[in-house]
Amino acid sequence: MLRRTRRTEAGEFLAEGAQAVREAIGYQTENPGTVLDLFVTEAAATRNTGLIRLAFAAGIEVTQVTDRAAAAMSDTQAPQGIVARCRTIEVDLATALAGSPKLVAVLVQTNDPGNAGTIIRLADAVGADAVVVAGDAVDPFNPKVVRASTGSLFHLPIARSDDPATLLEKLAAAGLSTLATTGGAELDLDTARSDGLLELPTAWLFGSEAHGLPAEIIAAADAAVRVPIHGRAESLNMATAAAVCLYASAGAQRG
């Protein structure tokens, strides 16, 4: 289940750690059948007795496993000993964009799982309506993405789109203004906010850490925006820039 092809074939993924498991169990209460099994070592069961009780109450089968078996289900140096096997909770794009969304985070060819998971967590924190993963990007159910999201992927719709260019058309059809993040943009975030641009329903487009957004996506977006740097730092990493942009939109939309 640690390999993408295996996850895709099975339609399943693993959520490791107490926080991710807690959120999975919470999701299970409203979406029965999401959590298929919970695997826990003796030590982890002792540390998480309340969580184990929640799992039993939710009708989830709990299986005690050895430390070695738990390590085989983890891709970390220090496995936490508690892992939920879940059905993939991805939704289609139409479902993710239904209901007049106000704020959506779009990961375009984002290949760093830590950044992807962090942005899912950020989108959840600001009250965004959905996250869309576009193009040749990291699998949102990669164990590192799931871990970095700290359970937030259970809180908001996660969808995929193979073609970023077509996605922009669908975002526009959903009433969303598309803003491309790039350090070379003439328009900065402060000006975009003072001009009222951030008060509009918005889909923020974030690219890869190494290469940013493709030039054709920047050109096709409604506007390109940069985060202003007032000090001497050369740049911001993608997750930090995403946090600034998403919080700026959320604040502007709330007045």
Same domain? 61 vs 178:
no
Q: How many domains does the chain have?
A: 2
Q: Which of these three, 70, 87, 104, is where a domain ends?
A: 87
The band of 24, judged by pLDDT with boundaries at 50, 70 and 90, is very high
Q: What is the pTM of this model?
A: 0.93
Quote the pLDDT of residue 4: 64
What's the CATH code of the domain at 27? 3.30.1330.30
Residue span of the structural domain in which 144 resides: 93-253
* Cα gap 192→223, rounded to integer Å: 9
What's the CATH code of the domain at 197? 3.40.1280.10
Same domain? 230 vs 117:
yes
Same domain? 99 vs 62:
no
Contact 8, 58 (CB under 8 A): no
Same domain? 36 vs 146:
no
Q: Which of 146, 163, 156, 148 is nearest to 124 (CA)?
A: 156
Q: Which residues pair with 87 in a beta bridge?
A: 12
> If you average pLDDT over residues 71-84, what whole number do you get?
90
Q: Which of these three, 69, 87, 105, is where a domain ends?
A: 87
Region for 187 from its dihedrals, namely left if φ exceeds 0, alpha if ψ lies in -120 to 50, beta otherwise:
beta
Quote the pLDDT of residue 75: 82
Quote the pLDDT of residue 1: 53
**pLDDT per position as a tens digit, 58-76:** 999 999 999 999 999 988 8
The 10 Å Cβ neighbour count of residue 61 is: 12
Contact 127, 250 (CB under 8 A): yes
Quote the pLDDT of residue 209: 85
Q: Is the pLDDT of residue 10 over 80?
A: no
The band of 5, judged by pLDDT with boundaries at 50, 70 and 90, is low
User: Side chain identity at 210, as an amino acid letter?
Assistant: A
* Exposed e or buried b per residue across 222-253, where buried means at least 16 C-beta atoms within 10 angstroms of its C-beta: bbbbbbeeeeeeeebebbebbbebbebbbebb
Same domain? 227 vs 117:
yes
Type and span of the H or E element at 74: none
